[in-house]
Amino acid sequence: MSAADPLLLGVDLGTTAIKCAAYRPNGTPVASASREYRLLTPEPAAVEVPVATYWEAFSAAIRDVLRSPDVSAGAIHSLGISAQGETLVPVTGDGTPVRDAIVWLDSRPAEEADVLASHFEPGEFYEITGQPEMLPTWPAAKILWLSRHEPGAFAQTRRFALLEDYFVWRLTGEWVCEGSLVTSTGYWDFRKKSWSKEMLALIGVGVDQLPDLVEPGTAVGQVRPPVAVEIGLSTSTMVCTGALDQACGAIGAGNITPGQFSENTGAAIALCATLDGPRLDPEGRMPCHYHGLADRYMFHTFTSGGIVLRWFRDQFGDAEKSVAAAAGQDPYDLLIAEAERIAPGAEGLLAVPHLQGAMAPESNPAARGALIGLSLRHGRGHVARAILESVAFVVRRNVEVLESLGIQIPEILAIGGGARSGLWKQIEADVTGRPVRTTREPDAAALGAAILGGSGSGRFGDVSDLVSAMVRPAGYFEPDPGRARFYDELYQAYCAAYTALCPTFATLMSKAESPA
């Protein structure tokens, strides 16, 4: 194939980096590039990024992709976007940012979140939005915070956009948004697929200050000539709406049919179970989001993941880092190789991985990490093995909750950095008792965005056609019956240990906050 053959471009607007990847319609990756940026913390609890920083990183990554001998600007047929959720971009009437973007991690609107929550009966907010509770993360709380703390900026704002919305406008001149990204704004009725007038009234925003709603994978328009000149794209490239990063990741894993389940192991583990319509958990443990496909939904949540292994590597893996640097290897690979030499159960060592509090399904911010059964015979490999097993236990906890809601999970589709480890995925298969499949493409969110762009352009079939053509299988890990029985007992011990430690976690949190 030549550089003139059509290419599908996927852009992943991540929290700390932008990734761009070009694919052929058969799923073959052609070129990719990424550019990192720094999060700013101008005051406690604040997390911001200048909007120009996002655009400059995007432009640089696009130019890097175009430098590939296998890519030409005219060959890029379509562009789809995967985006971080909840990052707010307030702009004037001509699209000029009023201030820096307020990143989803920003927790300054804690008081505003409480104020908004007080206007709803228990469970009512969940019924409307699919989110079990109002959080400072949600743009509704951010907008109310802006009106209270920066009234000048609030008054100047003509449109409240999310990051995907801003990029689509910058590329095409059209203000649109799609359901998967706005589900967690706090002001979108996820059942009716329309703005919540009650919430908009509470935060003082009119419908005319929000982008127009379209479906994920909608063709919006071709790249504007000034932008094409600025960053090197062609005016023939069709820009399409994409989806929330985790919805794009699910698509990039092939998780598009009700009954499919995917996990994306990065710093945290993002879990997505595809549904044929909106559903709620009677116990409020599982958020329900709009998917990256029209009229599809997903139970979607996060839990403890690779950040635990990263912490262990950074704090206790100096030897591995030194050896890896000298040999040009990844220190994670060396740690996992040590873990692989240890038998299942880590010779009686059990880990609880909640270094930053327990996420789904426990939602216990007081929870912390623990090593139970530590003895003189245990070394780095034992701890590494116990960490891998503990994260698999947490995945099983979420699988069991989903099954209690009537969701059947015959297999797990695994993506993200954790999917690179065959040992980790085998442990996951053995712990959950389900086969685990991995794919060849490491950047599943960028691939999912490219699929949505290709589908939206109307040339390459629908999303299911492109998933069949572009999502390429890699590994398959079948649970071993003997190890599965062994892990059943260890899993019960893990659950009992977590429950028993909860009072201790609460006491330790209170002591950590006490003056010396």
Residues 130-149: pLDDT tens digits? 999 999 999 999 999 999 99
Residue 494, pLDDT above cutoff 70: yes
Q: What percent of the chain has pLDDT over 70?
A: 98
Q: What is the average per-residue pLDDT within 57-86?
A: 95
Residue 319, pLDDT above cutoff 80: no
Q: What's the CA gap between 384 and 79, in Å, rounded? A: 40
Q: Helix/strand/coil (H, E, C) string of 67-136?
A: CCCCCCHHHEEEEEEEECCCCEEEECCCCCECCCEECCCCCCCHHHHHHHHCCCCCCHHHHHHCCCCCCC
Q: What's the CA gap between 253 and 247, in Å, rounded? A: 10
Predicted confidence at residue 122, as pLDDT, reads: 86
Residue 121, pLDDT above cutoff 60: yes
Residue 330, pLDDT above cutoff 90: no
Measured in degrees and rounded to the nearest 5, phi and psi for residue 92 equal: -80, -175
On average, the pLDDT of the chain sits at 92
Q: What's the CA gap between 154 and 215, in Å, rounded? A: 28
Q: What's the CA gap between 31 and 37, in Å, rounded? A: 21
290 contacts 190 by C-beta, under 8 angstroms: yes
Q: Residue 148 corresponds to which tokens in the numbers above?
A: 């209270």
Q: What's the CA gap between 336 and 354, in Å, rounded? A: 20
pTM: 0.90
Give, in degrees to the nearest 5, the angle at Cα 47 between 43 and 50: 105
Predicted confidence at residue 192, as pLDDT, reads: 95
Predicted confidence at residue 1, as pLDDT, reads: 42
Predicted confidence at residue 2, as pLDDT, reads: 47
Q: What's the CA gap between 481 and 487, in Å, rounded? A: 10
Between 3.30.465.10, 1.10.1740.10, 3.30.420.40, 3.40.47.10, what CATH number should domain 307-400+481-512 receive? 3.30.420.40
pLDDT band at residue 4, thresholds of 50, 70 and 90? low
For residue 416, which of 433, 441, 392, 435 has the smallest C-alpha distance? 441
Q: Give residue 402's region: left, alpha or beta (phi > 0; psi -120 to 50).
A: alpha
Residue 124, pLDDT above cutoff 60: yes
Note the pLDDT tens digit of each residue in 358-397.
888 888 888 899 999 999 999 999 999 999 999 999 999 9
Q: 331-340 and 318-327 are packed helices; what angle lies between their axes, rounded to 10 degrees?
A: 120
Note the pLDDT tens digit of each residue in 207-246.
999 999 999 999 999 999 999 999 999 999 999 999 999 9
Note the pLDDT tens digit of each residue in 79-106.
999 999 999 999 999 999 999 999 998 9
Per-domain boundaries in the chain: 307-400+481-512
Q: What's the CA gap between 74 and 58, in Å, rounded? A: 18
